[in-house]
Amino acid sequence: MNTLFADEIQVSKDTAASSIPFDGALARVSTFDWQQIGKQLDEQGSALLQGVLSPEECDALAALYPEESIFRSRVVMARHGFGRGEYKYFNYPLPPLISSLRAVLYPRLAPVANRWNEAMGIEVRYPEKHADFLQRCHDAGQLRPTPLLLQYGTGDYNCLHQDLYGEHVFPIQVAILLSEPQRDFTGGEFVLTEQRPRMQSRPEVVPLRQGDAVAFAVHHRPVQGVRGTYRVNLRHGVSRLRSGQRHTVGIIFHDAN
């Protein structure tokens, strides 16, 4: 095993994060139709992954939010004009479930990322293993982990944005909803917008239930037009919560400088 990945998945036994099982989630990911997911990403810039996590796994991850020792920083969105609500970046070593999802999702998304870059004339190619890509990030000084846990309350929202943290950016990320719509919260839809050259922006709301994930473009993606391939720019956010509380975990594959 790559030593970087080995270090990433080791977690202190005295944290609640170490007790969350991850075998079930990894088994579910392996059963998905990744060819169809890749097709949806190519056509829409996003793809729905239903039932990545069980309700028990979702609740266990959401319950980590008060556990300060496993996070490296906390961001209150209103202080920075990002919206309302807050989020925390996990520290290394990551909780095993987060680390393992990062490692098993990446190689299934890397072929899409490489196909996109080739279509857009971008020379960068991504290695097969996430540990090798992380090493590339770390060699460039991008050492801080980027997976995060987000918490929203009534009236909170997340402005449209892109998660770009340095020179090396993996062009697809994954967000997993940990709360159940209509039971735990209302409103709070996941929103994508696609800015197309010389055209009006296209919005899309992705319907998520507890445990569902959405894979989506971080920055831009290729689109085939009548005159060839062109780039479209994507941003994502969360609409205003009308009631309740919403937790989400974000799986970003590049690290930050």
| Cβ 225 vs Cβ 236: under 8 Å | no
Considering Cα of 209, then 54, then 26, then 61, what sign does the dihedral take? positive
Token pair belonging to 16: 């609640």
pLDDT band at 114 (very low <50, low <70, confident <90, very high): very high
pTM (whole model) above 0.85: yes
What would the mean pLDDT of 4-18 be, rounded to a whole number?
51
Looking at residue 228, its pLDDT comes to 77
- Residue-wise pLDDT for 207-240, tens only, equals 999 999 999 999 999 998 777 788 999 999 999 9
- Residue-wise pLDDT for 154-165, tens only, equals 999 999 988 888
The percentage of the chain sitting over the pLDDT mark of 90, rounded to a whole number, equals: 80
* Residues belonging to the chain: 257
pLDDT band at 10 (very low <50, low <70, confident <90, very high): very low
Looking at residue 6, its pLDDT comes to 46
